[in-house]
């Protein structure tokens, strides 16, 4: 009977008129719900955007891949040896030979960084120049937007060709077409060497830049040449000048990508690779990065973030619900004589209960709707002004609306029952 009464259009209009009689008070009462729901939607949108960006960056590295990178040891014997000026560290070709024997490893990509400066006419760009095998582009999930990728024949005949990242192409060529033009690579060990651009990569989401702590490449700023060409022209030495001092490093390979046949074998293959490298290196001059582990960690962080936001949302809506209950209890006191008159004219207890429940539901649901609109608007403003990616989770919108309605019923039930429990005679005598 109560539910049927709540669905009455006449009762809805009666509750709406009662709230309109005190517009400012009704608006201030709904503010707690408005800001609570709005803040939840906005925070969820920012959190979903940040999480999606991070997880996409990890996926670009490949969930089937294991990345092994050469890293300079913190305290190297070569660096402390006064008799040598060459710092030797990192992954070696012997390591690759042993890694090829790992079970479930389907393919191996080899890379070596040779320079960090490239020029075209008078334009200069700071990025990374790397020699790599032709299977790099398929294993690392990067697509060529124009032209072609490196081919096996480029390595076989030591062609002086290159594939350039999108950001590097914009920095060097602007609006010009890079295909067929020569980019000059500046290296301290060999001097300037020109390479013909045969392909331009798609502009991809940063695949784990160092700023994001993933320890992987930003392919947008890279220039790739055939590994055989790199070996012939640069060798294993890399010379770098820093603040007037010369630094010479001997690194056989900068990065090695192991492509595993199935995702469930990735973690086991990573542990086996770690054991192989431990036997061949006295120092920790390498780092093993498993994108699958990073992806799992990101998903766990996302769930934790959602729980935190859910807790904040619960507190915010609780405060809004308490505000609604407080105002409705005051309204019951103000309208005690009205309640007595309605009871004297034949209204049942459930009629009085339904009347006040409808008013609280109108306050909470309208506040929830306005809060959803405000939260989506703030998320859009964050994207517009701060240039942060935001994604509005529609499950969060639906949940916020449902919770706002539930809060209206939960916190309006006590004032409604208090109003219905008034003695009609005492209510009529109330002044």
Asked if residue 266 is part of any domain, the answer here is yes
Asked if residue 237 is part of any domain, the answer here is yes
Q: What is the pLDDT of residue 348?
A: 77
Asked if residue 116 is part of any domain, the answer here is yes
User: Please, which pLDDT band fits residue 274 given cuts at 50, 70 and 90?
Assistant: very high
195 DSSP β-pair partners: 183
Asked if residue 291 is part of any domain, the answer here is no
Residue 147 sits in the same domain as residue 196: yes
User: Please, which pLDDT band fits residue 79 given cuts at 50, 70 and 90?
Assistant: very low
The pTM assigned to this predicted structure is: 0.67
- The backbone torsions φ and ψ at residue 225, rounded to the nearest 5 degrees and listed phi first, read -125, 160
More confident residue, 9 or 164: 164
Task: For residue 191, give the DSSP letter.
Answer: -
How many separate domains does the chain show? 2
pLDDT at 204 over 80: no
pLDDT at 192 over 90: yes
Name the average pLDDT for the chain: 83
Cβ atoms of residues 164 and 223 within 8 Å: yes
Domain boundary among 284, 307, 329: 284
List, for residues 119-137, the tens digit of each pLDDT value: 999 999 999 999 999 999 9
Question: Looking at 12-77, which runs of residues are DSSP E strands?
Answer: 65-70
Residue 368 sits in the same domain as residue 222: no
Of all residues in the chain, the percent with pLDDT exceeding 70 is 89
List, for residues 211-251, the tens digit of each pLDDT value: 333 445 678 999 999 999 999 999 888 777 666 677 788 89
Domain boundary among 260, 284, 308: 284
Out of 94-108, 196-210, 274-288, 395-409, which region has the weakest mean confidence (pLDDT)? 196-210
Strand pairing report for 182-186 and 105-120: antiparallel
User: Please, which pLDDT band fits residue 197 given cuts at 50, 70 and 90?
Assistant: very high
User: Please, which pLDDT band fits residue 161 given cuts at 50, 70 and 90?
Assistant: very high
Provide the terminal-to-terminal Cα distance of the chain, rounded to the nearest Å.
Answer: 32
CA gap 223, 300 in Å, rounded: 35
Containing structural domain, residue 34: 2-57+297-429
CA gap 209, 186 in Å, rounded: 23
Residue 50 sits in the same domain as residue 83: no
Residue 51 sits in the same domain as residue 106: no
Residue 248 sits in the same domain as residue 156: yes
Q: What is the pLDDT of residue 209?
A: 42
Asked if residue 64 is part of any domain, the answer here is no
Residue 45 sits in the same domain as residue 85: no
Residue 130 sits in the same domain as residue 234: yes
pLDDT at 42 over 80: yes
Asked if residue 292 is part of any domain, the answer here is no
Residue 158 sits in the same domain as residue 274: yes
């Amino acid at each position: 009977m109560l539910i049927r009464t709540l669905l009455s259009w006449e009762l809805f209009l009666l509750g709406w008129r009662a709230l309109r009689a005190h517009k400012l008070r009704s608006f201030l009462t709904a503010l707690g719900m408005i800001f609570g729901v709005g803040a939840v939607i906005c925070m969820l949108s920012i959190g979903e955007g940040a999480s999606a960006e991070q997880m996409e960056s990890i996926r670009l590295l490949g969930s089937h891949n294991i990345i092994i990178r050469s890293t300079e040891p913190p305290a190297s014997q070569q660096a402390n040896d006064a008799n040598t000026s060459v710092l030797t560290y990192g992954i070696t070709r012997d390591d690759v030979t042993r890694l090829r024997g790992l079970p479930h490893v389907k393919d191996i990509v080899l890379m070596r960084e040779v320079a960090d400066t490239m020029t075209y006419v008078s334009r200069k760009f700071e990025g990374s120049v790397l020699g790599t095998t032709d299977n790099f582009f398929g294993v690392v999930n990067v697509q060529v937007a124009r032209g072609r990728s490196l081919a096996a024949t480029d390595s076989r005949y030591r062609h002086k060709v290159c594939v350039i990242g999108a950001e590097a192409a914009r920095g060097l060529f602007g609006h010009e077409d890079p295909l067929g033009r020569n980019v000059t690579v500046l290296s301290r060990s060999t001097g300037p060497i020109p390479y013909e651009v045969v392909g331009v990569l798609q502009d991809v989401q940063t695949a784990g830049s160092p700023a994001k702590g993933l320890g992987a490449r930003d392919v947008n700023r890279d220039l790739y040449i055939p590994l055989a060409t790199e070996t012939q022209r640069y060798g294993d030495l890399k010379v770098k000048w820093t603040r007037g001092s010369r630094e010479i490093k001997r690194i056989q390979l900068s990065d090695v990508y192991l492509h595993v046949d199935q995702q469930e074998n990735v973690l086991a293959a990573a542990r086996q690779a770690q054991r192989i490298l431990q036997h061949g290196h006295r120092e920790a001059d390498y780092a093993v990065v498993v994108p699958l582990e990073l992806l799992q960690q990101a998903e766990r962080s996302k769930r934790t973030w959602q729980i935190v936001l859910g807790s904040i949302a619960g507190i915010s809506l609780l405060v809004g619900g308490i505000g609604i209950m407080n105002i409705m209890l005051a309204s019951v006191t103000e309208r005690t004589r009205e309640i007595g008159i309605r009871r004297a004219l034949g209204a049942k207890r459930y009629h009085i209960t339904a009347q006040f429940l409808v008013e609280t539901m109108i306050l909470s649901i309208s506040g929830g709707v306005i809060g959803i609109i405000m939260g989506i608007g703030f998320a859009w403003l964050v994207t517009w002004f701060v240039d942060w990616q935001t994604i509005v989770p529609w499950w969060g919108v639906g949940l916020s609306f449902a919770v706002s309605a539930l809060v209206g019923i939960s916190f309006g039930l006590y004032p409604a029952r208090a109003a219905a429990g008034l003695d009609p005679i005492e209510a009529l005598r109330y002044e």
